[in-house]
Amino acid sequence: MKKLLIIGSVIVLLFAVIIVLTNVSNKSKVTSANNPYGDKKLKQETIDQLDDKNYQNIMLPDELEKKIKAGEDVNAYFFSPVCVHCKAFTPELMPIAKELGVEIAQLNVYEYDELWSKYNFDRTPTFIRFEGGKEVNRFVGALSEEDLRTFFNKEVLKK
């Protein structure tokens, strides 16, 4: 009986240590300079993505709205950190965009669910091109590398 009690206590202690270490790690990530979300309480999946090199162009919804109202050209990429299609497509999208010199604003619909209805889409990933304060083009889902390059060259870079 004593052995069972000792083993049970060790297991409980290990779980407690894991929880404390996870909380410390999360707090460190959230308070770091790499957190573009400010003081918003973030969901775990977003915290896990904070140091992912493919998600370093995060834009907050208010900033997107200001740019659209100002008539600036904006390439808005709506994603969710829990979307398997986003997880597969973003690592393909971002290097191609960088190579072509296309600036992409990434908006996290998992943290800002009002974006779904505001920009009228129902799946992620969704890419919307705004020019002069109006939507001019969009694609939903993942594109092949060839189609993505064609889209950027034709619709964004106007080549």
Which range, 7-16, 32-41, 116-125, has the best average confidence (pLDDT)?
Answer: 116-125
Per the CB < 8 A criterion, the answer to whether 50 and 29 are in contact is yes
Determine the pLDDT at residue 18: 65
- pLDDT(70) > 80: yes
Determine the pLDDT at residue 32: 60
Residues composing the chain? 159
Rounded CA separation 75/137 (Å): 10
- pLDDT(152) > 90: yes
Per-residue pLDDT tens digits for 127-139 = 999 999 999 999 9
Provide the whole-model pTM: 0.82
Check residues 31 and 58 and name the one with the higher pLDDT: 58
- pLDDT(13) > 80: no
Check residues 24 and 150 and name the one with the higher pLDDT: 150
Determine the pLDDT at residue 95: 97
Average pLDDT, the chain: 88
Q: Which residues contact 30 (CB under 8 A, 6 or more apart)?
A: 42, 47, 50
- pLDDT(50) > 60: yes
Select from 112, 30, 47 the least CA-distant residue to 78: 112
Rounded CA separation 89/65 (Å): 25
Determine the pLDDT at residue 25: 57
Find residue 105's DSSP bridge partners: 76
| Main-chain phi, psi angles of 77, to 5 degrees | -115, 110
Per-residue pLDDT tens digits for 92-127 = 999 999 999 999 999 999 999 999 999 999 999 999
Rounded CA separation 141/121 (Å): 11
